């Protein structure tokens, strides 16, 4: 888990040379990924190629040489073993782009999920120091910066894969209601005992035993003959195209 103490430990062990405050924030981003279990496979020029995520040059563990060779932009490619698998890995491309006094962190994964991003106000987290290796004096509010990286970047990367897999499995398990049981039972349920709200036993009786609203008036019963317009009361819980009872 990325913590301010762990991030500072990585910085002290690597002892990077910072040219400016943007370098400091970009390296905190890198250190947070390393602590979270990501393995650096490319940085600097190789990480800026258009196929950085699939490039064969980004498969092995590498050092940080050239990580800040470009002005106002940084790139890192990482891989992380998939839990429960010895061969599968997830790859992520992290870019840090300088915009005025801010750094925009954008993370793209090879599975095509929506990129995670975070905008960092550089002046809120960096300070000046007369000693080049006095890293404690070169940062401030490091805890907030690391927590923001965890909540807006690392946490989303950790959970998006499992959420996508769970959603896919649920979709495959569930079948559309319209296709379940329709061939065996047109009412959509083998236990249904009604036809549009009328018990099936009544629907099978002679017309004289049917409810009045299902009987078409006959000529000579005090009403003029009407075009056959059967009245039905559908049961919308088991909807099926209307089935008319015709006794003529």
| Structural domain range at position 223 | 178-248
- Same domain as 112, residue 14: yes
Q: Which two tokens stand for residue 50?
A: 């258009």
Q: What is the pLDDT of residues 132-191, one digit of tens each?
A: 889 999 999 999 999 999 999 999 887 655 444 444 444 444 444 444 443 444 444 444
Q: Are 140 and 63 in contact (CB under 8 A)?
A: no
- Flag whether 157 is in a domain: yes
Q: What is the pLDDT of residues 5-31, one digit of tens each?
A: 999 999 999 999 999 999 999 999 999
Confidence grade of residue 125 (pLDDT, cut at 50, 70, 90): very high
- Flag whether 66 is in a domain: yes
- Flag whether 168 is in a domain: no
- Same domain as 121, residue 20: yes
Q: Which of 21-30, 46-55, 194-203 has the lowest mean pLDDT?
A: 194-203
Give the residue among 31, 23, 44 at the shortest CA–CA distance from 5.
Answer: 31
- Same domain as 190, residue 243: yes
For the entire predicted model, the pTM comes to 0.65
Burial of 30 (0-12, 13-18, 19+ CB in 10 A): buried
In sign, the C-alpha dihedral spanning 155, 156, 157, 163 is: positive
Burial of 27 (0-12, 13-18, 19+ CB in 10 A): buried
What's the mean per-residue pLDDT of the chain? 76
Domain count along the chain = 2
Give the residue among 50, 47, 96 at the shortest CA–CA distance from 74.
Answer: 96
């Amino acid at each position: 888990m990325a913590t301010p103490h762990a991030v500072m430990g990585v910085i002290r062990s690597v002892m990077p040379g910072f040219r400016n405050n943007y370098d400091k924030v970009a390296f905190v981003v890198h250190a947070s990924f390393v602590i979270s279990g990501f393995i650096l496979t490319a940085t600097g020029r190789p990480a800026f190629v258009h196929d950085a995520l699939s490039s064969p040059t980004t498969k092995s563990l590498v050092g940080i040489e050239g990580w800040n060779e470009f002005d106002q932009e940084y790139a890192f490619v990482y891989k992380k073993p998939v839990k429960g698998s010895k061969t599968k890995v997830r790859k992520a491309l992290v870019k840090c782009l300088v915009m005025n006094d801010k750094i925009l962190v954008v993370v793209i994964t090879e599975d095509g999920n929506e990129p995670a991003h975070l905008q960092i106000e550089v002046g809120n987290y960096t300070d000046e120091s007369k000693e080049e290796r006095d890293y404690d004096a070169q940062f401030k509010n490091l805890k907030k910066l690391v927590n923001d990286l965890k909540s807006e970047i690392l946490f989303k990367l950790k959970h998006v894969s499992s959420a996508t897999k769970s959603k896919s499995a649920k979709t495959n398990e569930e079948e559309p209601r319209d296709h379940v049981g329709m061939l065996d039972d047109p009412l959509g349920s083998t236990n249904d005992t009604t036809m549009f709200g009328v018990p099936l036993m009544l629907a099978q009786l002679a017309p004289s035993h049917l409810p009045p609203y299902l009987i078409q008036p006959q000529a000579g019963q005090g009403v003029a003959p009407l075009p056959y317009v059967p009245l039905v009361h559908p049961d919308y819980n088991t909807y099926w195209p209307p089935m008319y009872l015709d006794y003529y």
